[in-house]
Chain A
Amino acid sequence: MINRTIAPIAKDEIAFKFPAITYASTSNEIKIISSFKPSAPLINFRLTIKRGSIYDLPEFNGTSLLTTRMIDEGAGRFNSLELNQEISYLGTHLSISCDNENTYFSITSLSENFEKSLYLLSEILKSPHFDQTDFEREKETLINSLKLVQAYPDFIAEDCFKKLMFGSNNYGIDIFGSLETLNNIHLEHIKNFYNNFYSPKDSIITVVGNIENDVLLNLIDKYIGDWTNNYSNSFQPDLEITPTLPGTYFLNFPGSVQSEIRIGLLTPQIDLTNYPSILLNIIFGGDISSRLNKVLREKEGITYGAYSYFEIMKNVSAFLISTSVDIENSFKAIRLIKEVMDDISINITEGELNYAKSKLINKLPLKFESILSLNSTINHLEIMELGLDYYDNYSEKIQSVTLEDVQKLASELFVKENFIFFLTGDKEKFFDLEFDEDIFEVENSGRIISSL
């Protein structure tokens, strides 16, 4: 029998090097960042416009999303169905989406089909039809999609929780908008959003895949280099965030057999160069081995999983915790999470920190394995203006974080009284539960309607 009592030691160390990056720009001055990756005959191309739902006018929330749904419904010489047939025939995966801050055009194709795919994408970008019939269908579909997702407890929880966290600002409004604001949108709003916010000067292109750089640059310039839209719109989104006061809030969701729990705190001081925060999150709730999961899942068995993360956008940063538990354990879960917060704010061990450091440093080879994961990282670094040297000396930066750094951050961050605690579940079932805190019942809009 071999000795199994000791974990094997890693073989020779693997030196990680961030893949080589090339910079260029198109004739219309869009920055191009690319990386040659020949491991598979695939290419992922992303064009990101730094305009998202925070540019929606409040009474027309959902405009940015509906614009993404409309823009590939016919372009250039193709109507909606013809265009889709052209893309589908290639087997190319086209995705057009947006979030609060950005709009993303992405194609992933076999290398052999890249030029044709890029041509079709350029037609969508430069010459969308925005036909009235297509608009009516897509608007109705989006409204029905919103109705559909409004039956999902996690959507309802996120939607209301965002409003508590970010107030009436567009960061607090789901990109869907609401049924009311979607109904307000007319085709002219879509055209205006496109004309006012889709522009080369607010765009970047990132590409990873099996294509030589000079060939790639020629193709991009050929198809995207003549895109023009140099609007002089001076619209500035509202970035003033006024969250609801800290406390415990409850949203009734009749018939629910579980409670959705969300907990959060704005963290304007935290960005992606705050390495202690990355390490602290791993220890607190960042993975299945974290303290949250140890307590809620592995010790108490009251959830399938509990997680935390820093949501870091260009203009907003927040620390968020999320879990689902059976209703009878709702308040127990919150109590346990508070205990984990209390404990971690004063007691992080060297072992925990070493674990978090090893995890971050050792996972670098895996993090950039696929063309999609590499391009996603490059794209994110560029959008967040972190610089593509972010991962140079990354190991050293992580290793240099001390236990004191992380403990200090934990003691500042985990002040329970600063957090918003939010639950959604069936109110009738909550009446049987004991709780020892003030709880405010809110409606979907986040407005307080009573005290429980």
Chain B
Amino acid sequence: MKTFDIESRSHKLNNGLEVVLHKDSSLPIVGVNLWYRVGAANDKPGKTGYAHLFEHLMFQGSQNIAKESHFRFIQEAGGSANGSTSRDRTNYYETLPSNQLELALWLESDRMGFLLEALNEEKLENQKSVVINERLEHYDNQPYGLVGEKLNSLLFPVDHPHHSPVIGYLDDIKIFSLKDAKSYFKNYYSPSNAILTVAGDIDYSDTLELIKKYFEEINNEKTIIEDILDSFPQLEEYKYLEHFDKVNVPQIYFGWRTNRLFHDDEVDLHVLAFILSGNKNSILTKPLVYENKLCQRVSAQNDLSKYDGSFLISATPKKLEDIEKIKSTIFHEIENLIYSNTNLENEIRTAINNFKFEFVHSIEKISTRTDLLSSYKYYVNEPNWFAQDYERFNKVTSESVKNIAKKYLTNNFVELRVLPKNDK
């Protein structure tokens, strides 16, 4: 399929930096996207949130870039910039007019090569305080804000990469020291531990030369990758938790352990989530929201990383007293899906059509296309994996979805109920 053929060229600099280039001159725009192979999965118990906090430090200036200048340079040039941290990686990105490409490369290379020269206690303490406020604003002070944290701590053992939240626990954030920051940078932020993707209105050879100019002189430090187990024991028992929160409406959650990103089961898990709750006619939505009117909404989704995954179903009951009825409906419908002879062809086609739309939509913008190129390079070592990724969906059948549901959703699971505090 031509839409999904995103031609790219890959290179490796002498210091180990991997480079992906993609040319699209339809608009005078360029995307720069730098993935470091370190994320929250590398955080340790007692030192959670380090990957995310370090992402903040990367915007505090480097040897030749003053504090607060990174955003200012990019915005003044008409661009946008940000960073994000997942369990698998930390990325930094800019989208800007293509005549300003060199500016983004200058900024990214300066912090890759010369961050520590400008990092100090004051900047660290300032950003610890900002991150603490970020945590308060987005999690602690939000209704249902701690759901993800609670579910994952029940689903995964303490030493598992999914156990703790990406943003980290408050007490851990507070003890992050300058010494920690410096050793973190030296270990993880080396050229050989990164992928740089540049996409948009570029000339291939000129861009590669520019990249070499700014990045090739950066010294490489050996990255010591700690052992992160890729196989963890499954849940040995059903786990149940009631969390009384400052909410007016209860929510219930069920979580199962599944498998990692790009595992053979991944696509079936996505289709399964869609046919359970992707539209009004879905297997769970129709009986719970439309026929029995027990729920406001019901949702199924996957949370996957390169290490592991979980499958989550959540529902918002209309009445507190209906929770048990909702739970039994959910499990009845799952059982029915697995063991009945129902043909799911139409549901699967609907799911695939939706994924196709989302896929086309996501590669329309150069920023998301650049990120996907980095992502494929990182996970499957082939940036132009768009067509193969999409093709995976065409292999899904009724049987494969049922088998996946049976494989994972009949195992032990975690149940979390968030209940209004007043009803305690």
Residue A216 lies at the interface, judged by CB distance under 8 Å to chain B: no
The contact string, 1 if C-beta is below 8 Å from chain B, for chain A 282-307, is 00000111000010011111111000
Residue B286 lies at the interface, judged by CB distance under 8 Å to chain A: yes
Contacts of A89 in B (CB 8 A): 346, 349-350, 353
Q: Is the CB of A140 within 8 A of B293?
A: yes
Q: Which of B11-19, B32-40, B63-71, B329-337 contacts A (4 or more CB under 8 A)?
A: B63-71
Specify which of B106, B140, B365 is in contact with A7 (CB 8 Å cutoff): B106
- Chain A residues 1-47 with CB under 8 Å of chain B are 1-2, 4-5, 7-8, 10-14, 39-42
Task: Kindly state the interface size class of chain A when it binds its partner.
Answer: 35 or more
Residue A364 lies at the interface, judged by CB distance under 8 Å to chain B: yes
* Cα(A381)–Cα(B153), bound, Å: 49
Q: How far is the CB of A223 from chain B (nearest CB, A)?
A: 20
Contacts of B68 in A (CB 8 A): 289, 294, 298
Residue A379 lies at the interface, judged by CB distance under 8 Å to chain B: no
Residue A85 lies at the interface, judged by CB distance under 8 Å to chain B: yes
Q: Is the CB of B213 within 8 A of A2?
A: yes
The closest CB in chain B to the CB of A155 belongs to: B143
The contact string, 1 if C-beta is below 8 Å from chain A, for chain B 77-103, is 111100000000000000111111111
Q: How far is the CB of A252 from chain B (nearest CB, A)?
A: 13
Contacts of A13 in B (CB 8 A): 99
The closest CB in chain A to the CB of B63 belongs to: A4
Q: How far is the CB of A1 from chain B (nearest CB, A)?
A: 6
* Cα(A88)–Cα(B25), bound, Å: 33
Q: Is the CB of B248 within 8 A of A84?
A: no
Q: Is the CB of A355 within 8 A of B72?
A: yes
The closest CB in chain B to the CB of A73 belongs to: B280
Q: Is the CB of B125 within 8 A of A301?
A: yes
Residue B325 lies at the interface, judged by CB distance under 8 Å to chain A: no
- Chain A residues 33-80 with CB under 8 Å of chain B are 39-42, 80
Residue A92 lies at the interface, judged by CB distance under 8 Å to chain B: yes
Q: Is the CB of A4 within 8 A of B318?
A: no
Q: Is the CB of B79 within 8 A of A366?
A: yes
Contacts of A12 in B (CB 8 A): 99
Q: Which of B43-51, B128-136, B402-410 contacts A (4 or more CB under 8 A)?
A: B128-136
Contacts of B148 in A (CB 8 A): none
Residue A108 lies at the interface, judged by CB distance under 8 Å to chain B: yes
The contact string, 1 if C-beta is below 8 Å from chain A, for chain B 340-384, is 000000100110011111101101111000000000000000000
* Cα(A92)–Cα(B357), bound, Å: 7
Q: Which of A146-154, A237-245, A413-421 contacts B (4 or more CB under 8 A)?
A: A146-154
- Chain A residues 357-371 with CB under 8 Å of chain B are 358-359, 361-366, 369-371
Residue B328 lies at the interface, judged by CB distance under 8 Å to chain A: no
Q: Is the CB of A91 within 8 A of B316?
A: no
The closest CB in chain B to the CB of A298 belongs to: B68
* Cα(A359)–Cα(B97), bound, Å: 11
Q: Which of A188-196, A199-207, A254-262, A400-408 contacts B (4 or more CB under 8 A)?
A: A254-262
Residue B141 lies at the interface, judged by CB distance under 8 Å to chain A: yes
Residue A168 lies at the interface, judged by CB distance under 8 Å to chain B: no
| Interface SS of chain B | helix
Residue B180 lies at the interface, judged by CB distance under 8 Å to chain A: no
Given known pairs A2-B213, A7-B73, the reply for A14 and B28 (CB within 8 Å) is: yes
Residue B110 lies at the interface, judged by CB distance under 8 Å to chain A: yes
Q: How far is the CB of A355 from chain B (nearest CB, A)?
A: 5
Contacts of B106 in A (CB 8 A): 4, 7-8
Contacts of B205 in A (CB 8 A): none
Contacts of A140 in B (CB 8 A): 293, 318
* Cα(A12)–Cα(B355), bound, Å: 39
The closest CB in chain A to the CB of B126 belongs to: A301
Residue A110 lies at the interface, judged by CB distance under 8 Å to chain B: yes
* Cα(A250)–Cα(B85), bound, Å: 36
Contacts of B318 in A (CB 8 A): 140-141, 144
The closest CB in chain B to the CB of A16 belongs to: B28
Specify which of B75, B102, B103, B290 is in contact with A80 (CB 8 Å cutoff): B290
Residue B246 lies at the interface, judged by CB distance under 8 Å to chain A: yes
Q: Is the CB of B249 within 8 A of A144?
A: yes
Residue B29 lies at the interface, judged by CB distance under 8 Å to chain A: yes
Q: Is the CB of A365 within 8 A of B97?
A: yes
Residue A443 lies at the interface, judged by CB distance under 8 Å to chain B: no
* Cα(A385)–Cα(B97), bound, Å: 29
Residue A90 lies at the interface, judged by CB distance under 8 Å to chain B: yes
The contact string, 1 if C-beta is below 8 Å from chain A, for chain B 281-322, is 100001001100100100000000000000000001010000
* Cα(A289)–Cα(B73), bound, Å: 10
Residue A109 lies at the interface, judged by CB distance under 8 Å to chain B: yes
* Cα(A324)–Cα(B136), bound, Å: 9
Specify which of B105, B133, B142, B248 is in contact with A326 (CB 8 Å cutoff): B133
Q: Is the CB of B214 within 8 A of A2?
A: yes
Q: How far is the CB of A215 from chain B (nearest CB, A)?
A: 19
Contacts of A355 in B (CB 8 A): 72, 75-76
The closest CB in chain A to the CB of B349 belongs to: A89
| Interface SS of chain A | mixed
Residue B231 lies at the interface, judged by CB distance under 8 Å to chain A: no
Given known pairs A89-B353, A362-B76, the reply for A84 and B27 (CB within 8 Å) is: no
Specify which of B130, B247, B366 is in contact with A304 (CB 8 Å cutoff): B130
Q: Is the CB of A151 within 8 A of B79?
A: no
Q: Is the CB of A326 within 8 A of B136?
A: yes
The closest CB in chain A to the CB of B101 belongs to: A11
Residue B137 lies at the interface, judged by CB distance under 8 Å to chain A: yes
Contacts of B103 in A (CB 8 A): 7-8, 10
Q: Is the CB of B29 within 8 A of A151?
A: no
Contacts of B102 in A (CB 8 A): 8, 10-11
Residue A325 lies at the interface, judged by CB distance under 8 Å to chain B: yes
Residue A93 lies at the interface, judged by CB distance under 8 Å to chain B: yes
Residue B278 lies at the interface, judged by CB distance under 8 Å to chain A: yes
Q: Is the CB of B280 within 8 A of A80?
A: yes
Q: Is the CB of A369 within 8 A of B100?
A: no
* Cα(A304)–Cα(B318), bound, Å: 34
Q: Is the CB of B133 within 8 A of A325?
A: yes
* Cα(A85)–Cα(B275), bound, Å: 12
Residue B217 lies at the interface, judged by CB distance under 8 Å to chain A: yes
Contacts of A289 in B (CB 8 A): 68, 71-72, 75
Contacts of B280 in A (CB 8 A): 80-81, 84-85, 88
Residue B192 lies at the interface, judged by CB distance under 8 Å to chain A: no
Contacts of A326 in B (CB 8 A): 132-133, 136
Contacts of A152 in B (CB 8 A): 142-143
Given known pairs A109-B357, A147-B248, the reply for A370 and B365 (CB within 8 Å) is: yes
Q: Is the CB of A84 within 8 A of B281?
A: yes
Q: Is the CB of A301 within 8 A of B130?
A: yes
Q: Is the CB of A151 within 8 A of B143?
A: yes
* Cα(A289)–Cα(B103), bound, Å: 17
Q: Is the CB of B296 within 8 A of A39?
A: no
Q: Is the CB of B78 within 8 A of A363?
A: yes
The closest CB in chain A to the CB of B206 belongs to: A11
Q: Is the CB of B97 within 8 A of A366?
A: yes
The closest CB in chain B to the CB of A153 belongs to: B141
Specify which of A93, A108, A110, A304 is in contact with B133 (CB 8 Å cutoff): A304
A-B contacts besides A4-B106, A300-B129, A370-B364, 8 pairs, CB < 8 Å: A85-B281, A88-B279, A88-B354, A110-B356, A137-B290, A256-B246, A258-B141, A298-B67
B-side residues, CB < 8 A to A, are 3, 26-29, 63-64, 67-68, 71-73, 75-80, 95-103, 105-106, 109-110, 114, 125-134, 136-138, 140-143, 213-214, 217, 246-249, 278-281, 286, 289-290, 293, 296, 316, 318, 346, 349-350, 353-358, 360-361, 363-366, 421
3 nearest interchain CB pairs?
Answer: A362-B78, A301-B129, A91-B357
Contact sample, A vs B, 5 pairs, CB 8 Å cutoff: A39-B27, A90-B353, A148-B296, A304-B133, A359-B78
